[in-house]
Every structure is written in structure tokens, then in C-alpha cells.
């Protein structure tokens, strides 16, 4: 059974870090926090932070890379594979239709970009998830991409950084999707054996199968301010246990108070924080070429 398709045509395509301009794209967007209309170009220039109230908007995988990685150093290593449909899944749409729509919307093959680069001259291998692609869900391809990134980190002896933004496992692939939790965890253990550092950056949202596996296994775990971190939804938990949960439940701050993450970092400070951690590991013999 083929978990994904490998198309030779994709092997000749390099990732373009510039988001494609769309003819029907509106010039303004409404902030869900303050309710004001903001000029999209101004929001982008402000690292996708509302200039009125400071609320964070989503960042795409490409935008994450541009925010974190030194200009001109990123080398795309994303495997040119795309999801097959082993279960012949269909709800209101077929799985193949959903994949095609997400590919057209994002100009990606799936929910994860993998590449090597530098953060303030500190080398790393990075995997960045894109929530626009079927909710950043982890199916066979997303799992393979993350494992591919971890193997490249071991091969290069560079730290591995995962920026997660995911609603969890991809239900259209059933058990095959849940297998990725085990697969990525096994690859993580190989990094431990090879003493390759792993830094996990949790953003909004990091939930369900991704939060319950690879995203929670970092040597250092950072939560971006405003991150949603948890497994099941708050309403589901409250109905299950018959109790009301704290107002800040599943926030990054709550996760920090419970010892689930090591720090809460503002978006504009994330690059500096990452560079400091990478430099620490390098100075202590982790993730540097000998």
C-alpha cells in the first residue's frame, strides 16, 4: 500500500518563499480581537501582528521561515511527495479534492516545509507547519517530512527546530495518520542517541496528535505568545469530566505554569531567543560540525 506519491516532476521544483499574490485577495482584514479593519500590507510589515491591539494573526510556513532564518541562507530540502488516498476517503468532498484545494491555496504539496539555514549565523535544520493545509494536520506526508528533517539534522549534526501549527492527526488517513506519532517519536529517539539538539516551537494551535507526540519532545520547548496548546478541545473535556476548566486553560501561559513549556516568547523576540539557544548548544558541543 502506497502512503504517498512521488512525482519526478516535483524534483525539479524549488520552494519559492514569496507568497503568491491572488487577484481576489482583499486589501483589508478584520482583527478578531479589536474588531477593527487593518490594511493587510501593514499587518505583514508588522510580522502579522495587529497594529492596533497587538493580536497575532496566523503566519504561513513561508512567513515563519522568513521571520526566523537569515536572508539568503535557506536551502529547501522538502521531499517532493504528496499524499495518496489509501482509504478512498470521502465526506462532503473526497480526500483527493481536499488535497488539491489546499495545494492550490498554499502552493505547497502538503502541510510541512523542510530546509536548512542559519539563525544569526547559527546553523539548523527547520520544519515549519502550515495550518492552511487541511488544518496543518499530520498525515503520512507531513510525518515523512518531519522525519526527513530530523534525519538531515543528524546527517549534518545541526540542531533540529520544529515550528508546529496543527489541529492534530489527519482523520482522512485513519490509522495511517496516527502511525506518524510513533514514526516521528522514533526519529526523535535517534537524535537523542546521536546527541543532536531538538528545539520545539509551539504556535497557535499546537493540538491533538502533534502536541501529544513530536511537538512535546524538544530538549527546549518554546511557546509563542498566544499559542493554543492541548490535546482535546476545552468543551469536550468539560463535558467529559463534568467540571469547568480555568479560563486560561490550554494557553501557552497555562502550559508554562504546569511545566509543559520552558518559556513564552513574543513573536518579535523569537528569532533572538532561537539564536541564543542554538548558540548555547553549539558552545556545549551539541549540533556543531566537528
pLDDT per 10-residue tile (average), the chain, 290 residues: 51 56 64 70 71 74 92 93 84 89 91 95 95 91 95 95 92 88 94 94 90 93 89 81 81 87 92 94 65
- Residue 9, pLDDT score: 41
Distance between CA atoms of residues 197 and 274, nearest Å: 12
Helix (H) or strand (E) holding 127: strand 122-129
Q: Which pTM does this prediction carry? A: 0.85
- Residue 132, pLDDT score: 92
- Residue 190, pLDDT score: 93
- Residue 285, pLDDT score: 61
- Residue 8, pLDDT score: 44
All three cell numbers of 85, joined, read 488516498
Domain range summary for the chain, segments of one domain joined by +:
27-57, 59-283
CB 55 within 8 A of CB 34: yes
CB 142 within 8 A of CB 110: yes
- Residue 154, pLDDT score: 95
- Residue 33, pLDDT score: 66
Is residue 65 classed exposed, middle or buried when 0-12, 13-18 and 19+ CB atoms within 10 A define those classes? buried
Distance between CA atoms of residues 260 and 234, nearest Å: 17
Distance between CA atoms of residues 263 and 234, nearest Å: 23
- Residue 149, pLDDT score: 96
What is the CATH architecture of 59-283?
Alpha-Beta Complex (3.90)
Instruction: Spell out the long-range contacts of 69-76 with Cβ–Cβ below 8 A and sequence spacing 24 or more.
Output: 69/115, 69/117, 69/118, 69/119, 69/126, 70/117, 70/118, 70/119, 70/120, 70/121, 73/117, 73/118, 74/17, 74/115, 74/116, 74/117, 75/115, 75/116, 75/117, 76/14, 76/15, 76/113, 76/114, 76/115
Q: Across-strand partners of 84?
A: none
- Residue 13, pLDDT score: 43
Amino acid at each position: 500500500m502506497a502512503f504517498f506519491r512521488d512525482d519526478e516532476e516535483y524534483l525539479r521544483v524549488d520552494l519559492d518563499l514569496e507568497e503568491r499574490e491572488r487577484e481576489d485577495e482583499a486589501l483589508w482584514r478584520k482583527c478578531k480581537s479589536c474588531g477593527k479593519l487593518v490594511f493587510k500590507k501593514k499587518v505583514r510589515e508588522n510580522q502579522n501582528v495587529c497594529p492596533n491591539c497587538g493580536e497575532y494573526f496566523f503566519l504561513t510556513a513561508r512567513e515563519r521561515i522568513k521571520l526566523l532564518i537569515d536572508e539568503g541562507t535557506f536551502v529547501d530540502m522538502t521531499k517532493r511527495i504528496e499524499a495518496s488516498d489509501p482509504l478512498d476517503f470521502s465526506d462532503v468532498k473526497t480526500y483527493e479534492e481536499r488535497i488539491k484545494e489546499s495545494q492550490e491555496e498554499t502552493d505547497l504539496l502538503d502541510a510541512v516545509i523542510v530546509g536548512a539555514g542559519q539563525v544569526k549565523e547559527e546553523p539548523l535544520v527547520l520544519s515549519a507547519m502550515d495550518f492552511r493545509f487541511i488544518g496543518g494536520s499530520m498525515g503520512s506526508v507531513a510525518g515523512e517530512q518531519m522525519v526527513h528533517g530530523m534525519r538531515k539534522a543528524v546527517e549534518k549534526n545541526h540542531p533540529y527546530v520544529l515550528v508546529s501549527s496543527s489541529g492534530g492527526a489527519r482523520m482522512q488517513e485513519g490509522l495511517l495518520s496516527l502511525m506518524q506519532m510513533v514514526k516521528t517519536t522514533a526519529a526523535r529517539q535517534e537524535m537523542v542517541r546521536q546527541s543532536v539538539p531538538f528545539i520545539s516551537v509551539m504556535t497557535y494551535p499546537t493540538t491533538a496528535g502533534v502536541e501529544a507526540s513530536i511537538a512535546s519532545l524538544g530538549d527546549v520547548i518554546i511557546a509563542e505568545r498566544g499559542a493554543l496548546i492541548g490535546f482535546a478541545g476545552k468543551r469536550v473535556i468539560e463535558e467529559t469530566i463534568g467540571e469547568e476548566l480555568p479560563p486560561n486553560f490550554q494557553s501557552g501561559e497555562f502550559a508554562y505554569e504546569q511545566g509543559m513549556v520552558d518559556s513564552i516568547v513574543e513573536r518579535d523576540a523569537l528569532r533572538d531567543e532561537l539564536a541564543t539557544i542554538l548558540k548555547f548548544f553549539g558552545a556545549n558541543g551539541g549540533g556543531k560540525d566537528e
